[in-house]
Amino acid sequence: DQQVKQNSPSLSVQEGRISILNCDYTNSMFDYFLWYKKYPAEGPTFLISISSIKDKNEDGRFTVFLNKSAKHLSLHIVPSQPGDSAVYFCAASEGFNKFYFGSGTKLNVKP
């Protein structure tokens, strides 16, 4: 049961421009959403999160937007840097017992 979906397997962006990564979910009971970044040969690393009671959370160059009515969240990276090139996963949970991950979007930031 694919409860969290990332429909874009890859994204290519020029350095300095905005990167927008998208994620859709089906379970309206999800109350917490997270973005993770993964480099090859490493485990995922936490990037930013948002509670279902908010619609926006910002941390430096990274902003996550949550649209509950559309069951959609997005991650904005501004400005994008070559070091941001990685695979990005969105994840969602209802409580903290179980987390559902999307299939990931590979971001390539070109110098």
Partner 1 sequence: DTGVSQDPRHKITKRGQNVTFRCDPISEHNRLYWYRQTLGQGPEFLTYFQNEAQLEKSRLLSDRFSAERPKGSFSTLEIQRTEQGDSAMYLCASSPSIGAAKNIQYFGAGTRLSVL
C-beta neighbour count of 60 within 10 angstroms = 8
What span, in angstroms and rounded, lies between the C-alpha atoms of 14 and 80? 7
Position 26 contacts partner 1 (CB under 8 A): no
State which of residues 62, 74, 76, 99 lies at the interface with partner 1 (CB under 8 A): 99
For 3, phi then psi, to 5°, come to -85, -15
- When asked if residue 8 is in the footprint of partner 1 (CB under 8 A), the reply is no
Q: At its nearest, how many Å lie between partner 1 and the CB of residue 4?
A: 8
Is residue 21 within 8 Å of 8, Cβ to Cβ?
Answer: yes
CA 109/CA 95 separation, integer angstroms:
34
Q: Does 97 bind partner 1 (CB under 8 A)?
A: yes
Q: Judged by CB under 8 A, which of 32, 62, 65, 74 binds partner 1?
A: 32
Cβ count near 111 (within 10 Å):
8
Length of the chain measured in residues: 111
Nearer to partner 1, 43 or 111 (CB): 43
**What is the closest distance, in whole angstroms, from the C-beta atom of residue 45 to partner 1 in the complex?**
7
Residues in contact with partner 1 by CB under 8 A are 4, 6, 9, 32, 34, 36, 41-46, 49, 89, 91, 96-104
